[in-house]
Amino acid sequence: MHEWALAEAVVAKVAEVAREAGLPRVREVVVGLGELQAVDREAFAFGLITYRREVPVLADATFSFVVDPARCACRTCGHAWLLGDSLAAMDASDRESVHLVPEMVTLFVSCPACASPDFTVTGGRGVSLVAVES
């Protein structure tokens, strides 16, 4: 389960940020989750709560999440769009395929402006620290 590895890495990074900033206690952490990251939020949140117990500065910290929407850009015409618009037009089976294996998005989506299948995902991947509040 990659959620546990992600949670461990986030807690370690927050501890590092707190140490470097001289924060005696972290109260809130806002984590950005890429729309295409396919993270189970419940498992991830449980991992964060579990690992925070090992870091005294994070003992009482709360975690919240914001979604970084998946964005795409066409290499042919330059059009940029939100992947969610394309996903909404897909049938449930294709959406599930993209959810389970995000790299498959290029098999199911094409540019809404020119219909080219040659595009790149420019956002909505990964996990990031958005804010660390003391």
Range 31-49 average pLDDT = 93
Q: Are residues 91 and 61 in the same domain?
A: no
Q: Are residues 62 and 16 in the same domain?
A: yes
Q: Are residues 15 and 61 in the same domain?
A: yes
Q: Are residues 15 and 33 in the same domain?
A: yes
pLDDT band at 84 (very low <50, low <70, confident <90, very high): confident
Q: Are residues 35 and 88 in the same domain?
A: no
Question: What average pLDDT is seen over the chain?
Answer: 93
Q: 2-11, 72-81, 101-110: lowest mean pLDDT where? A: 101-110
pLDDT band at 85 (very low <50, low <70, confident <90, very high): confident
Range of the domain at 27: 2-68+124-133
Q: What is the pLDDT of residue 1?
A: 56
Show the beta-strand stretches assigned E in the chain.
Answer: 28-34, 62-68, 71-74, 80-82, 119-123, 127-133
Q: How is residue 61 written in tokens?
A: 């910290």
Distance, CA of 94 to CA of 97 (rounded, Å): 5
Range 91-95 average pLDDT = 88
Taking CA atoms, 80 is separated from 16, 73, 99, 103, 119, in Å, by: 36, 4, 21, 18, 9
Q: Are residues 52 and 88 in the same domain?
A: no
Q: Are residues 82 and 93 in the same domain?
A: yes
Q: What is the pLDDT of residues 49-72, one digit of tens each?
A: 999 999 999 999 999 999 999 999
13: domain CATH number?
3.30.2320.50
Q: Are residues 40 and 55 in the same domain?
A: yes
Q: Are residues 10 and 40 in the same domain?
A: yes
**CB-neighbour burial class of residue 44 (10 A; exposed 0-12, middle 13-18, buried 19+):** buried
Total number of domains in the chain: 2
Q: Are residues 129 and 83 in the same domain?
A: no
Q: Are residues 85 and 109 in the same domain?
A: yes
Q: How is residue 104 written in tokens?
A: 């498959």
Q: Are residues 91 and 46 in the same domain?
A: no
